[in-house]
Amino acid sequence: MREINSEQIKEKVKELFLKANYYIGEDVLNSIRKALNVEKSETGRYVLRMILKNYELSANEKLAICQDTGLAVLFIKLGQEVHIKGNWKEAINEGVKEAYIDGYLRKSAVTDPVFDRKNTKTNCPAIIYTDIVPGDRIELLVNPKGFGSENMSALAMMKPADGAEGIVDFIVETVRKAGPNPCPPTIIGVCVGGTADQACVLAKKAAMRKIGEHNPDPRYAKMEKDALERINKLGIGPAGLGGSTTSLWVSIDYVPTHIAGMPVAVNICCHADRHAHGVLYGNKKDKYSIN
């Protein structure tokens, strides 16, 4: 049994949210650089250059990549041989609060979503998904999620007979309807299967798969390629100003589902594709990486 102090969790959460908000992943950077070579629209190329400049400024000046610094979402793998000393939920929220206050990141969380809509001024509460897994470490994947893109999410409870073609149609239609709203070029995360709620959570996680990594199942990989090709023919382009770079990548994951259904969730992530991954081993070693 390894002991991990809640203070260490707080510090790690704070560090990861700051890094996610200041630094973009290499895969996104490279993908935008590549798009610059193929984008035919002059305005589109201008927007891509501005996006690259923005990433550079954010990293050098330690400034938020975007003014919408997102709701704080965390995916946590908690080793079953870890004993946490202290209150871990409080520690996570404290880490989020400190990151957003000390890092001058916009606080975007409101209390009651319909009537009061009062800013909590801490960007809390964080949205936490926890998996208990074998092992003696804690893995954290943090995702500050902006709402220009989150608002464009979609769920379809499809019929099994709709098949792969129906799913790809739904993905492309979701991106078409979103138009310029999710700040293209976007990254599209999809999950097929499970229940409605499970599909939505896993679609968000799929959007964080590294650009360039296809689903290992060639049938799903083909759907990813087909969807991306069709999306980039929609003409939406960078910032929605026209062009062939509407999305950088489509990641489709799947989970088992019920015989009578085929839920399909689409989560759209903007070019401010922020996430950071870290591992806590307690006092012995502690690792961090951006993707």
Residues contributing to the site for ligand SF4 (CB under 6 A): 66, 68, 146, 148-149, 182-183, 270, 272
Nearer to ligand SF4 (CB atom), residue 68 or residue 94: 68
Residue 100: Cβ-neighbour burial (10 angstroms; 0-12, 13-18, 19+): buried
Phi, psi for residue 140 in degrees, rounded to 5: -120, 130
Nearest by Cα to 200 from 208, 191, 209: 191
Q: How far is the CB of 250 from ligand SF4 (least distance, A)?
A: 17
Nearer to ligand SF4 (CB atom), residue 105 or residue 270: 270
Q: How far is the CB of 192 from ligand SF4 (least distance, A)?
A: 24
**Alpha-carbon gap, residue 231 to 197, rounded angstroms:** 25
Instruction: Please report which residue ranges of the chain form alpha helices under DSSP H.
Output: 6-22, 26-38, 42-61, 88-102, 147-150, 163-178, 196-206, 218-231
**Alpha-carbon gap, residue 2 to 9, rounded angstroms:** 14
Nearer to ligand SF4 (CB atom), residue 211 or residue 270: 270
Q: How far is the CB of 71 from ligand SF4 (least distance, A)?
A: 10
**Alpha-carbon gap, residue 97 to 211, rounded angstroms:** 30
**Residue 62 is encoded by which pair of tokens?**
């330690």
Judged by DSSP in three states, 284 sits in coil
- The single residue listed with the structure tokens 């092992």 is 135
Nearer to ligand SF4 (CB atom), residue 68 or residue 98: 68
Q: What is the DSSP string of 57-71?
A: HHHHHT--SSS---E
Nearer to ligand SF4 (CB atom), residue 18 or residue 84: 18
Nearer to ligand SF4 (CB atom), residue 182 or residue 278: 182
Residue closest to ligand SF4, measured at CB: 146
Q: How far is the CB of 260 from ligand SF4 (least distance, A)?
A: 35
Q: How far is the CB of 68 from ligand SF4 (least distance, A)?
A: 4
The dihedral over CA atoms of 262, 263, 268, 273, expressed in degrees to the nearest 10, equals -90
Phi, psi for residue 211 in degrees, rounded to 5: -65, 130
Nearer to ligand SF4 (CB atom), residue 51 or residue 126: 51
Nearer to ligand SF4 (CB atom), residue 66 or residue 252: 66
Strand order in the sheet with 186-194: 154-158, 262-269, 186-194, 247-257
**Residue 55 is encoded by which pair of tokens?**
């990433």
Q: How far is the CB of 58 from ligand SF4 (least distance, A)?
A: 12
Q: How far is the CB of 25 from ligand SF4 (least distance, A)?
A: 15
Q: How far is the CB of 165 from ligand SF4 (least distance, A)?
A: 29
**Residue 21 is encoded by which pair of tokens?**
């908000």
